[in-house]
Amino acid sequence: MKLLIATRNRHKLGEIRAILDVPHLDLVSSLDFPEIPDVIEDGATLEANAVKKAVELHRATGLWTIADDSGVEVDALGGAPGVYSARYAGEPCNHANNIAKMLAELGGRPDRTARFRCVMALTGPGFPPQTVEGRIEGRITPAPRGTGGFGYDPIFIPDGYDRTFGELDADTKNRISHRANALAAARAAWSHVLGGAAS
């Protein structure tokens, strides 16, 4: 079965490929379809963006398509940046600027609790879009630590660990992350579509 992963983000693609390692799935991505324009992620929720990407890429290619949208929610910031995580510090998107803005807004606040959320959407021929969600709780550090991962990884410590996502090895992150939890939920919910993926 050919499954299109609706992203051109090579970091995200690498994580999804590593987690969704199912022998009979032929995984392709938006990078394989350069003629298709990027989907404008203008939804008010992670769910809306994930569904929009999945539906538009399925319509353009006819392939079964899985898409995700992820964000970090910081309790002391009222759940921000959430759906606006990628563009938190404005355009053009820049991970360093996003991190700097978050740390400046948090300042010395003692409450650093936060979570990563990931919503996955799947659609295909005769299969209206469905979504599942994964999340991981944690806290925001006072300063970036580590050079691994991408996005907010250098300032997020998952509960039960003393290292940031930026310091953890890829195998550990791919086992516990919000994206890993969402993909596990996807494999369970859509095993009838993905075949042996849930086994």
Please compute the mean of the pLDDT values over residues 70-88 and round it to a whole number. 96
Query: Crossing angle, helix 10-19 and helix 178-189, to 10 degrees?
Result: 50
Element holding 131 (H helix, E strand): strand 127-140
Q: Full-prediction pTM beyond 0.75?
A: yes
Structure confidence at residue 191 (pLDDT): 85
Catalytic residues: 69
Q: What is the dihedral of CA 160, 149, 139, 91, to 10 degrees?
A: -160
**122 CB neighbour count, 10 Å cutoff:** 24
For the chain, the helix, strand and coil percentages under 3-state DSSP, each to the nearest 5: 40, 25, 35
Structure confidence at residue 153 as a pLDDT band (50, 70, 90)? very high
Please compute the mean of the pLDDT values over residues 114-135 and round it to a whole number. 97
What DSSP state is assigned to residue 43? -
Structure confidence at residue 199 (pLDDT): 28
Whole-number Cα distances in Å, 132 to 77, 95, 121, 149, 151 = 25, 26, 7, 23, 22
Q: What distance in Å separates the CA atoms of residue 117 and residue 112, rounded to the nearest whole number?
A: 16
Structure confidence at residue 36 as a pLDDT band (50, 70, 90)? very high
Q: Is 59 helix (H, G, I), strand (E, B) or coil?
A: helix
Please compute the mean of the pLDDT values over residues 33-60 and round it to a whole number. 96
Q: What distance in Å separates the CA atoms of residue 86 and residue 91, rounded to the nearest whole number?
A: 9
* Nearest C-alpha neighbor of 132 from the set 60, 59, 50, 57: 50
CATH for the stretch 2-198 = 3.90.950.10
- Residues 163-193 as b or e (16 or more Cβ within 10 Å = b): bbbbbbeeeebbebbbbbbbbbbbbebbeeb
* Residue written as token pair 């910031």: 77
Structure confidence at residue 198 as a pLDDT band (50, 70, 90)? very low
